[in-house]
Amino acid sequence: MKPAAFDYYAPSSIEEACRLLSEAGGGATVLAGGQTLMPLLALRMSQPFIVVDITRIAALKTVTRGDGCTRIGPTLRQNELIAHAEIGRALPSLVTAARHVGHHQTRNRGTVGGSIALGEPAAELPATALALGASVELRSLRGTRRVPLQDFYFGPYATALEPDELLVGIEFPDWPAGTSWLFREIAQRPGDFALVGFSGAVTVQDGRISRAGLAWFGMGPTPIRARQAEAALLNQNPEQIDAQAIAQLAIADTAPFDDHHASAEYRRTVGRRLCAKLLSETLPARQAA
C-alpha cells in the first residue's frame, strides 16, 4: 500500500517544529528515524495530516556532558551513539543496549529519541534508559517540562508526550566509579525484539551496594523497573547477596504475557535465571577488582 496524503514540513528550529505541532491540533506526527513510522504510514495504520521531519534541526543531535549528567539529543542515530566515546565512558550499558537494536543498516537511520519516545515494550533502549534513571525534556509553545522515564510510560505505546510536545533531550544522571553495568537479552535471532531482557547498573562503594537501577524489557506492556530488587540490593555486600532471591523479587515486578513467540511462564522462568546469572557474574567480579 501507499501512505494516505499528508503535508510534509522540515523545520530548521525547535520553535518552528513546536509551532507546527501546535497548529496541527493533534493531526501531526514527528519523523526522526522513521523505522516505525514509515511502515505504519505505508500500511495506513497511521494517517496524519502533517509529518514534521525534525532531522534538520541541529540542536536536536548534540551530546553534552556537565551538571552531573549526560544529555543526548533525540535525533542522534543509534550507530552514532555506539561510536560516541563520551557516551561509552559514561553509560556503557546504554551503548551495549544500542548494539542489540535491529541491524547495522537500521541503526544508521534509527534514532535514540525515536526509540525512547515510542517505548516499545521489548526494545532495548527505553528499558536501559529507565534503569539508568533518565528523564526526558518535552517542549511545546506552552513551555518546557522534564519527566522522569519512570513516569513517562503509561501502557503499550502510551506515554506522557502530548500531541503538541516535542522531545528535545534525554538526560542521564552520572553513575560513580565502582559501577557495574548489566545487560543481557534472549531473542530468537540477532536483531529481533527480545523475548526477555534485563538491563541496568549497580554501584559498589566501600564494600556495599550504594545504588541500583534495574529494568526489564519484553516482560510486560511497558519497560518495567525492578523496584523490589533494587531496594533489596541496597547496602548489601555484593559477595554475599542471594542472586536467586534477588531475581525472584525482580520477576515479581513484571507482567509478562503469552504471545506467538513465547508464553508468560517461559518469560518468567528464563527471566529469573537470566537475572540471577547476570548478578552472580557481575557483582563478585566488580568486588574482586
38: which residues sit within 8 A by CB, 6+ positions away?
A: none
Q: Which of 207, 197, 216, 231 is nearest to 283 (CA)?
A: 207
Domain 7-53 indexed as CATH 3.30.200.210: no
Q: What is the pLDDT of residue 286?
A: 46
Give the pLDDT confidence score for residue 4 in this predicted structure. 86
Measured CA to CA in angstroms, residue 72 lies from 77, 87, 121, 134 at distances of 10, 9, 21, 10
Which residue ranges make up each domain of the chain?
Answer: 7-53, 58-173, 179-288
Fold matches, 7-53 and 58-173: no
Distances from the Cα of 209 to the Cα of 13, 69, 247, angstroms: 44, 21, 16
Is 58-173 CATH 3.30.70.380? no
Question: Exposure pattern of 250-274 as b/e (b: 16+ CB <10 Å)?
Answer: bbebbebeeeeebeeeebbebbbeb
Q: What is the pLDDT of residue 288?
A: 44
pTM value is 0.94
List of the chain residues with pLDDT < 70 = 1, 284-289
CATH hierarchy code of domain 179-288: 3.30.390.50
Note the pLDDT of residue 284.
64
Long-range contacts of 143-146 (CB under 8 A, 24+ apart): 144/168, 146/171
